């Protein structure tokens, strides 16, 4: 088993030369500047390291096999993948658009290129996109192994870190949600960039420095959240290598400039959210985030954001954050590696806290910080067993196995929530009181009700899925056997199926009402839109019209012009449907034309077939006038 002194002996080998004479030190400084003298960056046969890297990729099949059949998620996936014309075809024009223009209020071109590759291979096949996500996560796990091996020179620690990374429950959201691939792509480039930087410090070769810079740029083009990673490199120089501050800062300047350019591009793409930065909220989010990194937290898509604090709370939050970032300095002399890993966690989480997001705590934000966390945990486990020279490997392996078992159970349990026919939001309502969770669950019930019964608004649910849904939602209802029989016939004409559809509509209404009571100051035009559509489905056109007018007022307050226009298109179209149902054809045509005009201005489809619907309405009016 390696010791901390052994680790430091390799990582600060350049400084060990100081025990020699003064002339020798000066000669070394002239010939090799401040280059580190590594004996070997990745010890052991390259074949073995490659094998473990590949096994890390394959091992993702264990916790994430269940996500392959999830399909496209309703949030963001339609915009990033299903309806994204830029990724559907490898052409120079699409490449130019992705590189030169923001997309969907963001600028992450490498993220979009990964979708383009998936589409070129398999088309709009959700299975292929999920498989790609799993492979990206596996690649990151492989790099976790290599990075840990480079830092500790101890293969059991590196294998333990990779294993812990694979089973960490905080990763489920980033892997199972196709649109969260940004986090996977960014990590998959920043980690080899870190290895390239270590190689540069080993040999002083400028080509390795350029390679690390290029890989960092690619990571930034995956997601801006890696922007603070140069601080990790700086910590490596200062605390492990004991490199002079001036030289440590000098070769980080290009990294910082690239991060600044990427930040400007993303800032240009993203409008203001209206949320103001709050120090006490950020301090609370750091506490919650550190708990999530333990693998023992409560993992859910949306949490209730920490509330804005008083002046006293702001001061306390500022003091806490200052102490949090100063604390690792106390460890720098005795435990330099631990110091760097703690700063890895803090600085890679920091970018998500600087921007005024409404949700400062989100599982996918911890994908890159968790790399530092699992390396630190693996290192601590083996460090803690150093006093057992004969049994240290056995004891450490047992501890890692125990942690892995607990984490894997949580990961599998959370993955099962994503596979629930009622949607992931069903279990989420038991974990959080957030308004969006109730709205999303209501929407799922509404969508499924629209695909059942004698009147279908959307394509019918596949037979097996509808049976699974009914078995869960109506498990205590005496009519379940008859319903399952009707669903198996797949004719959607049975009275029991219609009764089940009405039950789903009531469940939708209950959750929309729950969301409305929790809404507060949130701007949620979609909530009123969905409530209105529910009334249309139940033939209450007047009530539906009232909800759409409320949506119109809500949408007009959205800070993002694109989001506002998208919401208004849906609102105006549904007002047309309500007016048509009330027999007010002239008013309906007016709303329909307005929706069509706005969709043309937006330049992408929000309501499919809008022009056809307008033409049919005009034909209906002409026939009505003729009669």
- Three-state SS sequence of 424-464: HHHHHCCCCCCHHHHHHHHHHHHHHHCCCCCCCCCCCCCHH
Q: What whole-number percentage of the chain has pLDDT above 90?
A: 76
Q: What is the number of alpha carbons within 13 Å of residue 272 lying toward its C-beta?
A: 6
Specify which residues 103 forms β-bridges with: 106
**Model confidence band, residue 274 (pLDDT cutoffs 50, 70, 90):** low
Task: Give every CB contact of residue 33 below 8 A, 6+ residues apart in sequence.
Answer: 204
Task: Give every CB contact of residue 617 below 8 A, 6+ residues apart in sequence.
Answer: 576, 580, 585, 588, 589, 592
* Res 144: pLDDT: 98
pLDDT score of 25 more than 80 = no
**Picking from 194-208, 352-366, 371-385, which range would have the lowest pLDDT averaged per residue?**
352-366
Average pLDDT on 359-383 reads 95
pLDDT score of 2 more than 60 = no
* Res 307: pLDDT: 77
pLDDT score of 287 more than 50 = yes
Task: Give every CB contact of residue 202 below 8 A, 6+ residues apart in sequence.
Answer: 35, 36, 37, 38, 41
242: helix, coil or strand?
A: coil
Contact 593/614 with Cβ under 8 angstroms? yes
* Run of H or E including 236: none
Contact 142/34 with Cβ under 8 angstroms? no
Across the chain, which distance is largest between two alpha carbons, in Å? 108
Model confidence pLDDT, tens digit, residues 428-468: 999 999 999 999 999 999 999 999 988 888 889 999 999 99
Alpha carbon distance 272, 562 (integer Å): 12
Alpha carbon distance 16, 370 (integer Å): 32
342 closest CA partner among 379, 374, 372: 372
pLDDT score of 578 more than 90 = yes
SS3 content of the chain, % helix, strand, coil (to 5): 75, 0, 25
Contact 173/301 with Cβ under 8 angstroms? yes
Instruction: Please report the DSSP string for 45-60 in residue order.
Output: -HHHHHHHHHHHHHHT
Instruction: Please report the DSSP string for 188-228 in residue order.
Output: HHHHHHHHHHHHHHHH--HHHHHHHHHHHHHHHHH-GGGTT
- Three-state SS sequence of 369-407: HHHHHHHHHHHHHHHHCCCCCCCHHHHHHHHHHHHHHHH
Q: What is the number of alpha carbons within 13 Å of residue 55 lying toward its C-beta?
A: 11
In the numeric block, which tokens belong to residue 6? 């052994």
Query: How far lies 221's CA from each of 363, 468, 469, 625, in Å?
Result: 21, 41, 40, 57
Model confidence pLDDT, tens digit, residues 296-320: 999 999 988 777 788 899 999 999 9
Task: Give every CB contact of residue 389 below 8 A, 6+ residues apart in sequence.
Answer: 1
Query: How far lies 542's CA from each of 82, 531, 545, 549, in Å?
Result: 33, 12, 5, 11
* Res 305: pLDDT: 77
* Res 20: pLDDT: 43
Which of the given ranges, 1-10, 238-247, 617-626, has the highest pLDDT on average? 238-247
* Res 359: pLDDT: 80
Higher pLDDT pick, 293 / 276: 293
Domains along the sequence of the chain with CATH? 4-270+294-367+379-416 (no CATH), 424-626 (1.25.40.10)
Alpha carbon distance 6, 1 (integer Å): 10
Report the number of secondary-structure helices (H) and strands (E) in the chain.
31, 0
pLDDT score of 499 more than 80 = yes
Alpha carbon distance 266, 45 (integer Å): 42
CA 230: distance to chain centroid? 22
Instruction: Please report the DSSP string for 524-565 in residue order.
Output: -HHHHHHHHHHHHHTT-HHHHHHHHHHHHHHHTT-S-HHHHH
* Res 23: pLDDT: 42
Contact 345/376 with Cβ under 8 angstroms? yes
**Model confidence band, residue 63 (pLDDT cutoffs 50, 70, 90):** very high
Provide the 10 A C-beta neighbour count for residue 134: 20
Model confidence pLDDT, tens digit, residues 190-227: 999 999 999 999 888 899 999 999 999 999 999 999 99
Alpha carbon distance 373, 119 (integer Å): 34
- The length of the chain is 627
In the numeric block, which tokens belong to residue 406? 């607990």
pLDDT score of 14 more than 50 = no
* Res 547: pLDDT: 97
Query: How far lies 306's CA from each of 294, 357, 387, in Å?
Result: 20, 12, 42
In the numeric block, which tokens belong to residue 240? 């492990």
299 closest CA partner among 172, 201, 118: 172
Mean pLDDT of the residues in the chain: 90
Alpha carbon distance 366, 343 (integer Å): 14
pTM for the model stands at: 0.90
Task: Give every CB contact of residue 53 below 8 A, 6+ residues apart in sequence.
Answer: 142, 143, 145, 146
**Picking from 162-166, 421-425, 602-606, which range would have the lowest pLDDT averaged per residue?**
602-606
Specify which residues 106 forms β-bridges with: 103
Model confidence pLDDT, tens digit, residues 112-121: 999 999 999 9
* Res 626: pLDDT: 61
pLDDT score of 16 more than 90 = no
């Amino acid at each position: 088993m390696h010791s901390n002194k052994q680790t430091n002996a390799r990582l600060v080998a350049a400084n060990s030369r100081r025990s020699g004479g003064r002339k020798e030190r000066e000669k070394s400084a002239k010939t090799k500047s401040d280059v580190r003298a590594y004996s070997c960056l990745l010890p052991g046969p390259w074949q073995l390291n490659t094998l473990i890297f590949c096994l890390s990729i394959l091992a993702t099949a264990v916790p994430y096999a269940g996500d392959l059949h999830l399909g496209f998620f309703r949030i963001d996936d339609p915009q990033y993948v299903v309806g994204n014309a830029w990724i559907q075809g490898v052409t120079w024009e699409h490449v130019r658009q992705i590189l030169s223009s923001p997309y969907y209020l963001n600028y992450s071109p490498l993220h979009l290129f990964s979708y383009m590759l998936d589409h070129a291979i398999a088309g709009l096949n959700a299975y292929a996109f999920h498989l790609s996500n799993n492979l990206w996560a596996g690649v990151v796990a492989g790099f976790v192994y290599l990075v840990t091996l480079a830092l500790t020179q101890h293969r059991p620690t590196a294998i333990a870190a990779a294993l812990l990374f694979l089973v960490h429950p905080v990763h489920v959201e980033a892997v199972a949600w196709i649109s969260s691939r940004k986090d996977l792509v960014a990590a998959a480039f920043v980690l080899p960039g870190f290895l390239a930087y270590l190689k540069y410090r080993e040999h002083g070769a400028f080509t390795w420095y350029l390679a690390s810079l290029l890989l960092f740029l690619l990571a930034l083009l995956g997601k801006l959240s890696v922007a603070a990673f140069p601080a990790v490199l700086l910590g490596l120089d200062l605390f492990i290598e004991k490199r002079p501050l001036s030289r440590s800062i000098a070769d980080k300047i290009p990294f910082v400039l690239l991060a600044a350019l990427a930040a400007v591009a993303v800032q240009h793409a993203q409008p203001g959210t209206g949320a103001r930065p709050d120090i006490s909220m950020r301090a609370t989010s750091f506490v919650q985030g550190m708990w999530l990194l333990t693998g023992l937290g409560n993992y859910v898509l949306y949490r209730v954001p920490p509330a804005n604090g008083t002046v006293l709370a702001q001061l306390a939050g500022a003091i806490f954050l200052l102490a949090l970032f100063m604390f690792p300095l106390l460890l720098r002399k005795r435990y330099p590696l631990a110091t760097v890993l703690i700063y890895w966690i803090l600085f890679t989480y920091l970018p998500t806290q600087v921007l005024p997001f409404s949700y400062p705590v989100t599982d996918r934000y911890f994908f890159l910080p968790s790399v530092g966390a699992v390396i630190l945990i693996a290192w601590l486990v083996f460090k803690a067993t150093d006093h057992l020279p004969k049994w240290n490997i056995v004891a450490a392996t047992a501890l890692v196995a125990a942690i892995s078992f607990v984490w894997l159970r949580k990961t599998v349990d959370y993955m099962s929530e994503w596979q629930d026919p009622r949607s992931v939001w069903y279990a989420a309502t038991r974990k959080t009181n957030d308004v969006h969770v109730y709205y999303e669950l209501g929407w799922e019930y509404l969508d499924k009700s629209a695909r059942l019964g004698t009147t279908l608004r959307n394509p019918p649910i596949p037979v097996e899925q509808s049976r699974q849904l009914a078995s869960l939602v109506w498990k205590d209802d005496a009519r379940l056997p008859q319903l399952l029989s009707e669903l198996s016939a797949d004719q959607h004409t049975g009275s029991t199926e219609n009764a089940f559809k009405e039950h789903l509509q009531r469940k939708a209404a209950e959750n929309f009402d729950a969301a409305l009571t929790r809404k507060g100051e949130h701007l949620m035009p979609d909530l009123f839109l969905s409530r209105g559509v529910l009334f249309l489905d139940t033939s209450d056109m007047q009530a539906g019209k009232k909800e759409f007018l409320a949506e119109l007022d809500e949408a007009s307050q959205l800070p993002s012009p694109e989001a506002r226009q998208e919401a208004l298109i849906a609102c105006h179209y549904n007002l047309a449907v309500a007016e048509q149902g009330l027999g007010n054809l002239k008013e309906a045509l007016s709303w329909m034309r307005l929706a069509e005009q706005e969709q043309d201005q937006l330049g992408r489809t929000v309501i499919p077939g809008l022009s056809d619907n307008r033409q049919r309405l005009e034909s209906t009016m002409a026939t009505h006038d003729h009669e």
